[in-house]
Chain A
């Protein structure tokens, strides 16, 4: 399998503050790859480096063979933590926007494609709703529909199931599995939610704030039995010594 994303001695952070040093990993085509780690360790910052919203402090990251900023058209779809839908536009307009920008389709075809994307995430019937009229789970699904608008080979999701009720979270996991299975989309996901990780991830890496490095890499079901106490505690939801029980 070809690598879709390659991080080579990647150092990330913000301002002068280094979060992670010398990260090296590859994400293969068709994978569902999860980035794990405690709060504030740099998971979302890593995702922002992958999509070119932040520049690496050192090393390189390549997406489909190019640096993120070298792509003329966006090679990925991104769903942000809150969905980040444009509040002044209806759902349909939100999904149509990338199609209007990057395709030569006529208005009718653009609308058909946008409607199909919304149907894919079970939001048909909500085309003319404004984002403020939707629940958190629906916003995230709409965010995925917009991210899929241009049929990207790569889908990046920032905390997709955070703040969702268990049913919505499971539905979202099922959707991610469907997209990966049926469309062959490579998915990179940042999350804290262990049930989601165990359900969807084929491979995950775990970042550690103190080590400023990847401390685990592999199948989450195997990492649950890791001998590294930090990894074992995380996957088995065990608080560190000294915390209130």
Chain B
């Protein structure tokens, strides 16, 4: 049977009350019509209300929820609504959704804290976080010492796969990005150098910048995005799916089983990727020197060998080892700290990448100052 459109008729009753007769179908689709018709019918009335449902042909769960919601809000404001006249299916739906026995929402109590307490709590939790990081560094250091004494205590199964994932699989993107960085760096400087007739110094600029900072830093950022995020998400998923707990009850130390192989894979792979990045970046820069600054390949290479010292490459490699340790440690620490299901894995992976990026910049600054101090 086709229902009539939803409608509300108003009739005043004795004693200042108001009676609204609902007719047609009050269903999900009529929610907007209900609000509009109700506002029009009420006309600002905020006293007692009788909702007559005897003419209502159909009602669904959403319609019942609207009626009970209206009754609850009016009750909170000190008013009263009575629902009368419901019959048949409409009455059944109303009974099913009746909220008169609903329990109040349970909330965890959050006692009021003043600003000083709040600052103290933040400082305390920050301190706990720092303590957690030092504990983790200590655990990794202890496990590393044990691994040096007894290499079989580390899980080497899959170590090759980890190096492949962190290193070999990254080769194409590393080569492309390093080439473009060298190219763009040289291209930006080409005009200025040409103005002063210092074309040949493009080799100094590209060589030094790629080996000392750009190569290591850009590769570390790339590895952080690829392997750092991957390791954090992998360990995080293992944590939320109880695999880490399973490891512990089998008497296997997650640090030796999961963390050390990953950190070591990065410590080995990041310097190798950096070397490749140095080389490809310099080729990119050389290409600009040859095509835009009219240098011969021999002139570029000669100048490069004069400008670059072995220490320039070594400092970059030292930096890349530090980056590898930082990426591996932070990614694994965040992964093992994950909680909160799939959403937690996403959240902790994000914090892992952000934390790694911050530390890469910090490590760069510290090592740059140290190298300056040591005169290398």
A interface list, Cβ under 8 A from B: 48, 51-53, 73-74, 76, 78, 80-82, 84-88, 93, 97-98, 101-102, 146, 242, 244
Contacts and interface: CB of A to CB of B under 8 A. Distances in A.
23 contacts: A48-B245, A52-B248, A52-B249, A53-B249, A74-B249, A74-B250, A74-B251, A76-B249, A78-B249, A81-B242, A82-B241, A82-B242, A86-B246, A86-B247, A87-B237, A87-B238, A87-B243, A93-B157, A97-B250, A98-B250, A98-B252, A101-B251, A146-B246
Given A88-B158, A242-B101, A80 B251 contact: no
Nearest to A71: B251
Given A97-B252, A242-B101, A80 B158 contact: no
Interface string B203-247: 000000000000000000000000000000000011001110111
Interface residues of B, number: 17
> A51, A80, A146 — which one has the most chain B CB atoms within 10 A of its CB?
A80
Contacts of B245: 48, 53, 80, 84
Interface of B: 96, 101, 157-158, 237-238, 241-243, 245-252
B233 to A, nearest CB: 12
Contacts of B158: 88
A53 B248 contact: yes
B242 A86 contact: no
Nearest to A102: B251
Contacts of A244: 96
Given A98-B251, A101-B252, 11 more contacts: A51-B249, A53-B248, A74-B251, A80-B242, A80-B246, A84-B246, A86-B238, A86-B246, A87-B238, A87-B241, A101-B250
Contacts of A82: 241-242
Contacts of A146: 246, 250
B250 A84 contact: no
A102 B238 CA distance: 22
Nearest to B251: A74
Nearest to A79: B246
Contacts of A102: 251
A74 B250 CA distance: 6
A224 B146 CA distance: 54
Nearest to A150: B250
Contacts of B252: 97-98, 101
Contacts of A84: 241-243, 245-246
A17 to B, nearest CB: 9
Contacts of A242: 101
Contacts of A73: 251
Contacts of B250: 74, 97-98, 101, 146
Contacts of A81: 242
Contacts of A51: 249
A36 to B, nearest CB: 21
A48 B247 CA distance: 13
Nearest to A81: B242
A102 B251 CA distance: 9
A88 B230 CA distance: 14
Nearest to B250: A98
Nearest to A88: B158
| 5 closest Cβ pairs, A-B complex | A84-B246, A84-B242, A80-B242, A78-B249, A74-B251
A78 B251 CA distance: 12
A174 to B, nearest CB: 24
A23 B249 CA distance: 23
Contacts of A97: 250, 252
A81 B241 CA distance: 9
A84 B237 CA distance: 11
Contacts of A76: 249
Contacts of B241: 82, 84, 87
Contacts of A88: 158
Contact of B243 (A48, A74, A86, A101): A86
A86 B244 CA distance: 9
A131 to B, nearest CB: 10
A93 B158 CA distance: 12
Contacts of A93: 157
A143 to B, nearest CB: 8
Contacts of B242: 80-82, 84
A53 B246 CA distance: 10
A48 to B, nearest CB: 8
A52 B248 CA distance: 9
A89 to B, nearest CB: 8
B344 to A, nearest CB: 15
A78 B101 contact: no
A109 B90 CA distance: 71
Contacts of B101: 242
Contacts of A52: 248-249
A22 to B, nearest CB: 24
A19 B96 CA distance: 34
A193 B369 CA distance: 64
A97 B237 CA distance: 20
Nearest to B161: A88
A93 B155 CA distance: 13
Contacts of B251: 73-74, 98, 101-102
Contacts of B248: 52-53
Contacts of A101: 250-252
Contacts of B249: 51-53, 74, 76, 78
A151 to B, nearest CB: 14
A51 B247 CA distance: 12
